[in-house]
């Protein structure tokens, strides 16, 4: 399973002064930073926000603008990837809160701007996967943003509570509590969600 | 429920007792199947490779990098940018006021305008926008580059880098798209630095400007630049005033970002709120809905339906209104300011009102055609005591009492046509007993005749305590908020 962590991209290790150049405001360095991490950031944002949204590119831009603005305050206490991920989660959280305020609902266009899903070789399986994915994010939309983020970080990205605590800036115990209630709420909603009935639970995607 | 298996338990391994229960409980079996499907969905989410980014995203990122300035180590109060590329469309209005300060106003005219350190500049588009002049009052001049200034008329097409200069007590409004444009007040100077489909940049060198922005596309941005601050609009409605290096921002709708020109700090404000920035301090206070409504009313810019510049020009004409003495002009119920005024209105009949304290209000239907129409009126002096005794006061109180029914006539048809707006004049004949004996539609500019019919039926049931044996003509003006 892809853990969704921000991986160091080949070539980045060969440029240890990239962050320093970014902090000096070198445009080329900022461009390099963007090109190195845009795909990873986009993927993580996609997982946080869900499929079928038209705002992914807006949020991606928000993340990088925030990264560019805050890079001067990056002290190197954490890995750049962890720091980037923290910014990513914060911007996603902000966007989720905004969605909540607007009582926004998921689009019905299953598959719109749909991502690539590994393990779905046939169009039928692909469609089934997209439907499942859509159903899951509809349920996630009903969770509070804080619970949603913790749930996604653990259940989808496979991160440990301690790591999640570092990302969301909360004590480990709080993360565990949030995770417990998020799982309880998610599965309770799933069990009573008739929209999941139309999609047969096949096993192909777990390969 | 205790007899059943808790749903979150279904997500894990089941013990023998739970398994036995499942064999005989169809409800829990269904729940189990749904939970398993949801788990597969989670697995599918973990396999997501990410969405492909469009070329526009790349261009926007490049623009972000180009305009990024790494700020010094000054704490930023609100680190996150909200509203970049908001798909949610909303109206926006900006009112900027600058004290006349030669040293500061020289800035925008000489130095290339540094972009704010956060610019939502999307992919640049080569085509430029042109603005249609919708209102002129007093002497307004327009200049481009080194060309000598010429008088602004309603026929002028404005574009970047035009410079507008208004004399004292003059005003001019222009529109560049549906619901988007500005109103420049007297004794002001404005440079239209950029007027493009995705980016509008207005540099106020002195005076006061109101700007309204209609529906935005993702990534579209508008900046109003004062000597001290950059005010960024992303689908919101707010006002800004700047004087003596203190900027006051009133947010009426949505969220606004206020950034120092040096990029040292940035603050997000969410409506309804009022905040002041300057001299290293800031303060904010909440605003009431009534105050927000007043500010919106003051920012009226006489916007037209906007199928495009040429189509809007073709479907509208100039109306020149003057009066002696000067009075407040309202066309179709919209107050546009003091006469003399030249306004653009859609071709057809319009209801004009000229109001001045201690003078009898002039009500007049005028027809706007392709050639400029002119209305010059001499107002009749009338002491207020006489007006309070007159019949219209009686009718107005009746209209106020029956406001809900009158509004319902309009709103029922508004559901079918969201753009429905206009004026209906009813002629009422009041009989001996104060009963309305006859109602006729004197004139109507509403395209939907059912509104006038509904009003006629409504008014037919009215009865007045005063005003027997009289005929009264009363206009009803309908417009959407």
**Tokens 């009112």 appear where?**
B95
| Residue B378 pLDDT grade (very low, low, confident, very high; cuts 50, 70, 90) | confident
Predicted local distance difference test score (pLDDT) of residue B142: 92
pLDDT digits (tens, 9 = 90+) for B207-239: 777 777 766 555 567 777 777 777 776 545 556
If you average pLDDT over every residue of chain B, what do you get? 73
Residue numbers in A near B73 (CB within 8 A): 72-73
Predicted local distance difference test score (pLDDT) of residue A177: 92
b/e per residue, A153-184, with b = 16+ CB within 10 A?
bbbbbebebebbbbbbebeeebbbebbebbbb
In three-state secondary structure terms, A163 is helix
Residue numbers in B near A121 (CB within 8 A): none
Q: Residue B64 and residue B60: Cα distance in Å, rounded?
A: 6
Predicted local distance difference test score (pLDDT) of residue A6: 47
Number of other residues whose CB lies within 10 A of the CB of residue A36: 21
Residue of chain A nearest B266, judged by CA positions? A69
Residue numbers in B near A54 (CB within 8 A): 87, 218
Residue numbers in B near A67 (CB within 8 A): none
B248 — phi, psi (to 5°)?
A: -110, 130
Identify the helix (H) or strand (E) that includes residue A46: helix A27-49
Token digits for A76?
A: 């190197």
Residue of chain A nearest B46, judged by CA positions? A156
Q: Residue B238 and residue B271: Cα distance in Å, rounded?
A: 8
Specify the pTM: 0.42
Burial of B101 (0-12, 13-18, 19+ CB in 10 A): middle
A85 and A67 Cβ atoms separated by less than 8 Å? no
Bridge partners (DSSP) listed for residue B136:
B172, B342
> CA angle at residue B418 from B355 to B155, to 5 degrees?
55
Q: Residue B440 and residue B235: Cα distance in Å, rounded?
A: 43
| Residue B56 pLDDT grade (very low, low, confident, very high; cuts 50, 70, 90) | low
C-beta atoms of A186 and B38 within 8 A = yes
B108 to chain A, closest Cα gap in Å: 25
DSSP A159: -
Number of other residues whose CB lies within 10 A of the CB of residue B85: 24
pLDDT beyond 50 at B119: no
B472 and B395 Cβ atoms separated by less than 8 Å? yes
Token digits for B473?
A: 């003509």
Whole-angstrom Cα Rg for chain A: 18
| Residue A137 pLDDT grade (very low, low, confident, very high; cuts 50, 70, 90) | confident
pLDDT digits (tens, 9 = 90+) for B320-335: 998 888 998 888 777 7
A14 to chain B, closest Cα gap in Å: 22
ipTM value greater than 0.90:
no
Cis peptide before B304 (omega within 30 of 0): no
pLDDT beyond 90 at A181: yes
Quickly list DSSP for B181-221: EEEE-SS-EEEEEEE-SSEEEEEEEEEEEEEEE-PPPTT-E
b/e per residue, B136-168, with b = 16+ CB within 10 A?
bbbebbbbeeeeeeeebebebebbbebbbbbee
- Give CA torsion, residues B62, B66, B72, B78, to 10 deg: -50
Token digits for A50?
A: 């869900």
Token digits for A170?
A: 């909360």
| Residue A5 pLDDT grade (very low, low, confident, very high; cuts 50, 70, 90) | very low
For chain A, strand residue ranges (E) read none
Token digits for B354?
A: 């000229």
């Amino acid at each position: 399973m892809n853990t969704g962590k921000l991986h160091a991209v080949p070539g980045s290790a060969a440029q240890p002064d990239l962050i320093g150049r970014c902090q000096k405001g070198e445009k080329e360095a900022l461009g390099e930073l963007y090109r190195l991490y845009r795909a990873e950031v986009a993927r993580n944002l996609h997982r946080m926000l869900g499929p079928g949204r038209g705002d992914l590119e807006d949020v991606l831009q928000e993340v990088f603008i925030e990264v560019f603005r805050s890079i001067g305050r990056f002290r190197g206490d954490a890995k750049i990837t962890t720091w980037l991920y923290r910014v990513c989660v914060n911007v996603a959280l902000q966007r989720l809160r905004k969605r909540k305020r607007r009582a926004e609902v998921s689009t019905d266009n299953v598959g719109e701007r749909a991502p690539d899903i590994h393990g779905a070789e046939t169009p039928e399986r692909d469609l089934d996967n997209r439907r499942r994915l859509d159903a899951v994010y509809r349920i996630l939309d009903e969770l509070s943003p804080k619970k949603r983020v913790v749930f996604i970080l653990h259940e989808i990205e496979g991160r440990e509570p301690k790591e999640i605590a570092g990302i969301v800036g909360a004590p480990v115990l709080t993360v565990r509590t949030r995770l417990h209630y998020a799982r309880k709420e998610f599965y309770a909603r799933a069990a009573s969600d008739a929209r999941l009935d139309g999609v047969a639970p096949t096993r192909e995607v777990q390969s | 429920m205790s007899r059943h298996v808790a749903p979150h338990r279904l997500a894990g391994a089941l013990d023998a007792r739970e398994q036995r229960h499942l064999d005989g409980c169809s409800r829990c079996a269904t729940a189990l199947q749904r939970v398993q499907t949801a788990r597969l969905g989670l697995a599918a989410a973990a396999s997501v490779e990410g969405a492909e980014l469009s070329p526009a995203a790349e261009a926007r990122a490049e623009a972000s990098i180009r305009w990024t300035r790494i700020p010094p180590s000054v704490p930023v109060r609100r680190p996150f940018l909200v509203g970049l590329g908001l798909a949610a469309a909303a109206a926006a209005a900006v009112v900027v006021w600058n004290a006349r300060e030669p040293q500061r106003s020289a800035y925008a005219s000489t130095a290339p305008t540094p972009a704010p350190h956060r610019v939502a500049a999307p992919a640049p588009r080569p085509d430029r926008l042109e603005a249609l002049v919708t209102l002129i009052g007093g002497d307004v001049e327009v200049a481009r580059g080194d060309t000598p200034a010429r008088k602004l008329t309603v026929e002028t097409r404005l574009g970047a880098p035009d410079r507008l200069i208004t004399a004292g007590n003059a005003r001019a409004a222009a529109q560049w798209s549906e619901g988007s444009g500005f109103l420049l007040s007297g004794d002001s100077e404005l440079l239209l630095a950029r007027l493009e489909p995705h980016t509008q940049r207005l540099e106020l060198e002195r005076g006061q400007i109101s700007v309204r922005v209609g529906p935005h596309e993702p990534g579209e941005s508008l900046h109003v630049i004062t000597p001290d601050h950059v005010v960024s609009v992303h689908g919101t409605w707010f006002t800004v005033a700047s004087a003596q290096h203190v900027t006051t921002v009133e947010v009426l709708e949505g969220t606004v970002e206020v950034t120092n020109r040096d990029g040292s700090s940035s603050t997000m404000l969410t409506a309804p709120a009022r905040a002041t920035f300057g001299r290293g301090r800031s303060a904010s206070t909440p605003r009431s809905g009534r105050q927000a409504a007043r500010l919106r009313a003051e920012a009226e810019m006489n916007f037209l339906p906007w199928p495009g510049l040429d189509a809007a020009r073709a479907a509208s004409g100039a109306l020149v209104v003057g009066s002696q003495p000067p009075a407040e002009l309202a066309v179709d119920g919209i107050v546009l300011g003091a006469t003399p005024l030249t306004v653009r209105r859609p071709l057809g009949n319009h209801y004009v009102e000229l109001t001045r304290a201690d003078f009898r209000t002039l009500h007049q239907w005028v027809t706007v055609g392709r050639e400029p129409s002119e209305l010059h009126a001499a107002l009749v002096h009338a002491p207020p005591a006489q007006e309070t005794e007159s019949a219209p006061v009686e009718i107005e109180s009746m209209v106020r009492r029956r406001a809900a029914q009158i509004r319902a006539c309009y709103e029922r048809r508004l559901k079918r046509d969201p753009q429905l707006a206009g004026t209906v004049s009813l002629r009422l004949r009041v009989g001996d007993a104060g009963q309305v004996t006859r109602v006729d539609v004197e004139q109507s500019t509403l395209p939907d005749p059912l509104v006038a019919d509904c009003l006629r039926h409504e008014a037919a049931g009215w009865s007045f305590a005063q005003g027997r044996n009289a005929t009264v003509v009363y206009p009803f003006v309908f417009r959407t908020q």
